[in-house]
Structure formats: C-alpha cells, structure tokens
Amino acid sequence: MATGGPRILIVEDETSQLQLLSYNLSVEGYQVFTATTGAEGLLVLDEQEVDLILLDWMLPHVSGLEVCRRIRRGKATRHIPVIMLTARGEEDDKIRGLDTGADDYVVKPYSLKELMARVRAALRAKSGQPENDLMVYLGLTVDLVQHRVSIGNESIPLGPLEFKLLRLMIGCPGRVWSRDQLLDRVWGDNLNVDTRTVDVHIGRLRKQIARVTDENYIRTVRGFGYALDKSS
C-alpha cells in the first residue's frame, strides 16, 4: 500500500466494491483504511487521522446517514469531507445526506474516473487550494488570477459575490449546495443576510451567463438549493 498520500477511509459493506475502491485509490497514491460497517468505520476514526471519508449509504446496523451524523458531531472528525456512495434513484436521500453534512455524493454504479475526480475536488476544497489558476466546466472558465469569467472569447462581468459563488460551485460540478451552505461559504459570518439573498445573487449570476449563452449552467433543486450542472 502506498504511503505519504492523503488518507482515505472507505466504509462499504460490499467486499468486492471495497476491494475495487481500495485498490484503485492505493494505485493513485492514497493511503487507504477500510471498514465494512459503520461501527467499524467510527472505530478507525478513533485511532487514525484521515483526510476524506467515502461512506456507503446502505450499511447494515448503523446506516451511512447515521454514521455521517456522528462524524459531524465528533470534535475531531467534523471537518473531514464525506462523500456518500448512494444507489440510483435515492434523490431525496441524497439531498438529506447533504443536509446531514455530507460534502458530496456519487451515485452507484459510478465510474471510477468520476469518483476520483470527486475525491480530488473534495480534498482540494478542504485545503482551500484550487488545482490551478484556471477552473473550467464545460466551456465556462473562471480565471482566478485575472478574476475573469468567460465562455469562449466572451467575457462575463460579475460582481464580487457572484464571482465567489461561481468559484465555489465550479470546484465541485454537480454537487447540490443548500442555500445555507452557500450562505456559509460565500457570505461567511455576515449575520445580516438570509437565504433569500442567495437566490438574488444566483439570479444575477444566471442573468450574466445568459447574456453570452443559451445554456443553463445552474440547476435549481426545489426546496433545497442549487448545483452547477449543465446536463439538466
């Protein structure tokens, strides 16, 4: 097993899945810890410092959701990014998962390539370091050095809050953000804003993008929040 790379705990009761994930993450240079039940996963967390947790939704005895809650309650574990592995068609469950404090989710059967990209994105978001100065999602480009957003050659002028929103969301394409999460990450400790403010600035962001393209990049998740997701 490789050493020195970021440390990842996988909690997954299906042994074949666990082995496949474990093998592929090791090959990528991650240090891997494994558990087949939630209780075992929590025990590992008592003894090891990890950088990221991949957590299966459907676990025997203690569900992935409950494990996630406990991780978020633990003083030593509450800041560890959690990616939930969910089965197809659990849309409500996925959202509840994020509401519970999971950082992201991947739907089974997932492609390893996609999962690896999510793992890198979550670790990057944790460290606060973008991979490079340009963040690109399906033609939409955010230049962090020049503070410039564009599609093709068309520049998209944005206010500072719209820029921060887009910069955050482009770091994890497809991730569903609740209004509270966006408020927390973009507005920080400013207590004078409420979640409707998020809607206003998402509206402005959409309007600016719509000036240069017919494509809708930002998806509304009704009753919850938003995702940067062109496919929908």
Residues forming contacts to Ca ion in the complex (CB under 5 A) are 13, 56, 58
Using the minimum distance from each CB to Ca ion, give the nearer residue, 13 or 66. 13
Q: Using an 8 Å Cβ cutoff, are 144 and 135 in contact?
A: yes
Residue with CB nearest Ca ion? Answer: 58
Q: How far is the CB of 21 from Ca ion (least distance, A)?
A: 12
- The nearest distance, CB 106 to Ca ion, in angstroms, is 13
In the complex, minimum distance from the CB of residue 14 to Ca ion, in angstroms, rounded to a whole number? 5
Which CB atom, from 36 or from 141, has the smaller least distance to Ca ion?
Answer: 36
Nearer to Ca ion, 69 or 124 (CB): 69
Toward Ca ion, which CB reaches closer, 13 or 199?
Answer: 13
CB of 108 to Ca ion, least distance (A): 9
Separation of alpha carbons 90 and 94, rounded Å: 6
